[in-house]
Amino acid sequence: MEDLYRLLRTGHVQAQGIVDTISDPLLVLDASLVVQSASRSFFETFNVDRYETIGQPIYELGNGQWDIPDLRRLLEEVIPKAAAIINYEVEHDFPGIGRRTMLVTARTLYHPDKGSHTMLLAFVDATDRRRRDVAKDMLFGELRHRMRNLLSVAQSMARQTTTEGRSAEEYRDDFLGRFAALVEAEDLAFTEQGEIGVQELFDRIFAPFAAGPEAIVIEPGPPVELSPRTIMSLSLVLHELATNAAKHGALSVPGGRIRVSWQVEDANRKLRLNWAEIDGPPVTAPLTAGYGTKLIQSAIAYTLQGRVEHEYAPGGFQAEIVIPLGTASALS
């Protein structure tokens, strides 16, 4: 008798030891749903104390905070029909810890000698995981959105780049030039914001055009943070300006130069860009605006809600672009 008692005691201590090693909250219930044992992490997770838990019917724990319809359904309807339940989701507002999503795994243990049973209930707090899943879904959604938009713009450029009177090579080069500007814009738009600015945008977009270091002179200006959509439209516009200069303007002759500068105005709400070609061939306004010129006009006026003024001055083509900075702001 003495020995048997010792054995049972040891067994109980061992069982409690096992219960405590489980890192997730665990409850052991008897057949009438009274708590026989609980793991340490149960007390920690639900911020409850051992004495108010052990020996209590589960529905009465913590002023009835476990009297949850979903849990009742699980304990009274689902478990009796199944040997084990895995990750049954219960969402509930727990007074001590707030709204939580719990995954409940349950198993019934039958005692062959006594004909009774014990129920093991393990809880996994999936609240944070769920939140992360939602955040991840949003992020993937945004990424897909960005990718499709980018493909849309590339598709539109391919369709609208002039084919009339062009050889396939000319068409391809025109398209690829625009495409390269788009690639640069995409790259710039999503690098760490605050680090990039107008200067870097200019450097990248003009890199294919500047034959020598003097060809395109960029005057230093104030740092400005540009939104991704501003970067994209502005990149395409600057590419068209440079293309036109290379074909018909200052960059079409040796010694021709372009001077580019920018300022922020109206308490950082506007960005003004100045483009001046010098020492180029004499220029005259073309009879009809090409696609590139239309693109410049529309990307600024339509997409960025700004304005462009250009002039075929005797000394060289000049343009002034003013765009609202909107959500993107100048760095103070």
Partner 1 sequence: MQKTVLVVEDEYLIAMDLQLLLEARGWRVIGPVGTVQEALQLLEGELPTVALLDVNLGTELVTPVAEALKASGVPFAVASAYDQPERYGGDVLAGAPNAGKPTNERRVLATLEQLTSFR
The residue ranges that bind partner 1 (CB under 8 A) are 141, 144-149, 151-157, 159-160, 229, 233, 236, 295, 298-299, 302-303, 305, 326-327
Closest C-alpha among 116, 117, 98, 93 to residue 107: 117
Using the minimum distance from each CB to partner 1, give the nearer residue, 86 or 151: 151
Using the minimum distance from each CB to partner 1, give the nearer residue, 13 or 147: 147
Minimum distance of partner 1 from residue 174's CB (angstroms): 14
Using the minimum distance from each CB to partner 1, give the nearer residue, 87 or 149: 149
Whether residue 102 contacts residue 126, with contact meaning beta carbons closer than 8 Å, is answered with yes
Minimum distance of partner 1 from residue 302's CB (angstroms): 4
Using the minimum distance from each CB to partner 1, give the nearer residue, 116 or 156: 156
Minimum distance of partner 1 from residue 176's CB (angstroms): 16
Q: Which two tokens stand for residue 41?
A: 């992490």
Closest C-alpha among 61, 60, 24 to residue 44: 24
Using the minimum distance from each CB to partner 1, give the nearer residue, 38 or 231: 231
Whether residue 276 contacts residue 318, with contact meaning beta carbons closer than 8 Å, is answered with yes
Minimum distance of partner 1 from residue 235's CB (angstroms): 12
Minimum distance of partner 1 from residue 303's CB (angstroms): 5
Minimum distance of partner 1 from residue 133's CB (angstroms): 15
Using the minimum distance from each CB to partner 1, give the nearer residue, 7 or 151: 151
Minimum distance of partner 1 from residue 13's CB (angstroms): 53
Using the minimum distance from each CB to partner 1, give the nearer residue, 147 or 207: 147
Closest C-alpha among 94, 43, 49, 55 to residue 71: 94
